[in-house]
Chains A and B, each alone.
Chain A
Amino acid sequence: MKKIDEPRLRDIVGERNIKTDPSDLYIYGSDSSVHHAMPWAVVKPETILQVQRIMKYANEELIPVIARGGGSGMCGQTVPVQGGIILDMKGMNKILEINLEDVYCRVEPGVIDDDLNLALKQYGVFYPPTPASSRIATIGGEIANNASGVRSVKYGATRDAVLGMKVVLPDGELVSLGAHTRVEASGYQLHKLMVGSEGTLGVVVEAILSFVPIPEFRCMGVANFDSLNDAGHAIGSIMASGAIPSMLELVDSVAIKAVNKTMDLGLKEVAAALIFEADGMVKEAVDYEINKMKKICEKHNGQDIHASYDPKEREKIFMGRKKLFPALSKYDDNLASTALADDMAVPYSKMAEMAGKIHEIARENNIVMTAYGHCGSGCMHTKILMDTKRKDQWDSAKKAITQVYEYVRSVNGTTSAEHGIGLSKAESFKIEKADSLGLLTSIKKALDPNNILNPGKLMQAPENWITATNLRYSVNS
């Protein structure tokens, strides 16, 4: 561990914006992933200048710097594998401008997604990429992860909503990337390069985001299925039919059971359910889309199909989905829900097969896995439910994950749809991107020659995620 020049950091961010006590550092050593590692200091900058000065210092002293938003990343993106300084970006939490005339808003990176949407709501507009974790995820973290959510099937991911940004580079230089306009063809789209870069290329200190009108009508429907296969085929057919859902979510039996256990929503415990939504300014248009989706579900043996415009009914269905991941921990009192192999994407035509495959692999390895996700955008989540004390369960999980990723790559899917790579998905990522790893490394080198920004992640991450860091569980040997 390198010695941190504490007085210098105190001088930059002020006495109240730094933590170095081991009990604080321990807390900042983890996120929503399975990993844990100790940072050397946590600082909470409040201005761009402070970020610049921290970066300059770290670059001179070759100290790793890890930007952190809500710390809700699921693959260890903010876990300081090589130690270093955590930059807690929640100190930069101002919504700077809501420009209704030019249809953009300008925010600091620590603004919470739900807060932004609350501020936008009064003008009848919303920022659509919104992940399920929107109550804690920051705009900076969403950009760095290219987060997306239930409505991305219609409105796109973070990448599509980011018009421009200000970024502090590793040497402390401040650059403005992108534009305030909807379109831009002036050279390399460097702001888009920052999207999904997981804090390895620069620190986002301001973002210019687009927003869209809140539709007058939203209608949400549910269809139950006796087989996961039928549900999977229904997803493929809906997307191939030209229908425009504003949400198309799959939940399997494991997920339904878990949600029922925690939230008493009284969902019917079937093999799978699809939640679909259409929205728009004209009711006839929404009806048209909903009916189309209902018919397709029917064709694929969907049952109990119903849809509602009633906000209360919609909220009930939506809450269940939003709280699904935490709820999975309630599936069985002895099993914890771990964020592993959590968000692949596969082509629509492979959705059914993929969902089946997940359960087949789980059975083979004697663990419980669930299949759910924003399937309208091709995204399939799983969670591994296991007894985290048992080492053999970790070994089984590792085997299962390897098999899942092998399958995903074999059908031209991708390792991560929205949660990012961090540490725990690096192994598959490196195999998937084998022919562009050199290029990715050159880009990283060009921007961060001293390798101080979130080192040891993505293409630099250790091969074996189990041994990459301490696990944040007590595992009996």
Chain B
Amino acid sequence: MENITKKFKHLEKWQGTLASCIRCGYCYEHCPMFKHTGWESDAPRAKIITAFGLLSGQVEASESAADKLFSCFYCKRCEAACSSGVPLTQIFTDAKKDLVEMGLKGPGTTSITTLNCARCLICVGACPHEARFYDGNAIATDPAKCQACGICLEVCPARAAKIENNFGTGRDELIEKASAFLNTHKASKAIIFACNWSYYPGLMASVLPESETKEKNYEILVNMCGGRLDPQLLMAPFLHNAWGIMAAVCPDGECQHEGNLKAKKIIKTLCNTLKSIDINPERVRLVQIPAGDKTLFQAEIDTFVDRLNKLGPIR
């Protein structure tokens, strides 16, 4: 066992903390990855169990074990909610450092660079976590530093930055979810894009009877960080007869990735575009929600839907 612990020289210091996680699973409800796949092995508790397994030698440092630790959006909701005080993402990061030294690096949710990269270095400057760099040959990502915020994806003009495992939060997945909702709900009017910090989901993992949901007039879709909103995504609902879209992001100064500032710019541009084609820009709204403020979030949605009701459908 000592030999194994030595291999995990960053993770080793967390041995005591790993024991103090009581494995209650209270972190599940906070994890967008668990909610997307429904597999416990994607939940924060599972990563703690895996870290313990690696450190104790009970789990082989395989690609699939490593993939669990490389998959995290660093929203840190699990650790904010953990009353055992386990600093989960710090543990994941240290485990990642050791795994990288062993030659394992995911991808998990780490952003990668595809061949059409023009090496313009925009992503290197834009990465809030100093994870992207030029390695003398190509643009690379330090998997231990990457927090999967996706800012690089949105700034890349060549669309060469990519997160392979989006857990339902990728652009295409969101467009598909939005159109599925708009096409199957007669009363549907709006799509609300919410970053994972501003939206505290009510229902955790269960499905309501159809009778309860058929009158729903809006759908909330989690897009992780506001910085990942792009015009294509924001316009997509309008192609499926949405009356409007709202985006919820963190308040100024509170976004770990400064994605809220990017969202502001994108929404502004979008409003101008709408104006130019004679669509009332009030159909697009950006709101700032402090983490976990459910009441404010709901109030903003209600106000927005009221406004849309007054505006009516787009003709």
Contacts and interface: CB of A to CB of B under 8 A. Distances in A.
A91 interface: yes
26 contacts: A19-B41, A22-B62, A23-B59, A23-B64, A23-B68, A24-B64, A26-B50, A32-B24, A44-B38, A44-B39, A71-B40, A91-B38, A93-B38, A98-B212, A111-B206, A115-B204, A116-B206, A133-B25, A136-B24, A262-B83, A323-B26, A326-B24, A327-B83, A327-B84, A337-B22, A339-B22
Interface string A315-357: 0000000010111111001101111000000000000000000
B82 to A, nearest CB: 7
A26 B205 contact: no
Contacts of A329: 20-22, 84-85
A93 B206 contact: yes
A473 interface: yes
Contacts of B25: 32, 70-72, 133, 136
Contacts of A94: 206-209
B207 A323 contact: no
B288 interface: no
Contact of B212 (A28, A32, A70, A119): A119
Given A23-B64, A31-B23, A95-B208, A330 B203 contact: no
Interface string B2-20: 0000000000000110011
What is the interface of chain A mostly: helix, strand, loop, or mixed?
A: mixed
Q: How large is the interface on A (under 10, 10 to 19, 20 to 34, 35 or more residues)?
A: 35 or more
Contacts of B59: 22-23, 26
Determine the main DSSP class of B at the interface with A: loop
Nearest to B30: A135
Interface in B11-70: 15-16, 19-26, 28-29, 38-41, 46, 49-50, 52-53, 55-56, 58-60, 62, 64-65, 68
Nearest to B27: A136
Interface residues of B, number: 44
Given A94-B206, A119-B206, A326-B84, 12 more contacts: A21-B62, A28-B40, A30-B49, A32-B25, A44-B38, A90-B38, A95-B212, A97-B209, A116-B206, A329-B21, A337-B20, A474-B1
A473 B49 CA distance: 10
Contact of A135 (B15, B26, B65): B26
B49 A330 contact: no
Nearest to A88: B40
A336 B22 contact: yes
B24 A23 contact: no
A90 B205 CA distance: 8
A472 B23 CA distance: 10
B207 to A, nearest CB: 5
A334 B83 contact: no
- What are the 4 closest A-B residue pairs judged by CB atoms, nearest first? A115-B206, A23-B65, A326-B83, A329-B84
B41 A28 contact: yes
Interface string A104-120: 00000011101110110
A190 interface: no
B202 interface: yes
B202 A136 contact: no
A31 B58 CA distance: 16
B60 A22 contact: yes
A435 B1 CA distance: 45
Contacts of B204: 112, 114-115, 135
Interface of A: 19, 21-24, 26-28, 30-32, 44, 70-72, 88, 90-91, 93-98, 110-112, 114-116, 118-119, 133, 135-136, 262-263, 323, 325-330, 333-334, 336-339, 388-389, 470, 472-474
A118 B202 contact: yes
B8 to A, nearest CB: 12
- The residue among B24, B84, B204 with the most chain A CB atoms within 10 A of its own CB is B24
A164 B28 CA distance: 29
B217 to A, nearest CB: 16
Contacts of A338: 22
A253 B23 CA distance: 23
Contacts of A327: 83-84
A326 B1 contact: no
Contacts of B56: 474
B83 A23 contact: no
A136 B29 contact: yes
Contacts of B22: 32, 325-326, 328-329, 336-339
A327 B82 CA distance: 8
Determine which residue in A94, A112, A472 has the highest number of CB atoms from chain B within 10 A of its CB, and name it: A472
Contact of A27 (B20, B40, B85, B212): B40
A330 B87 CA distance: 13
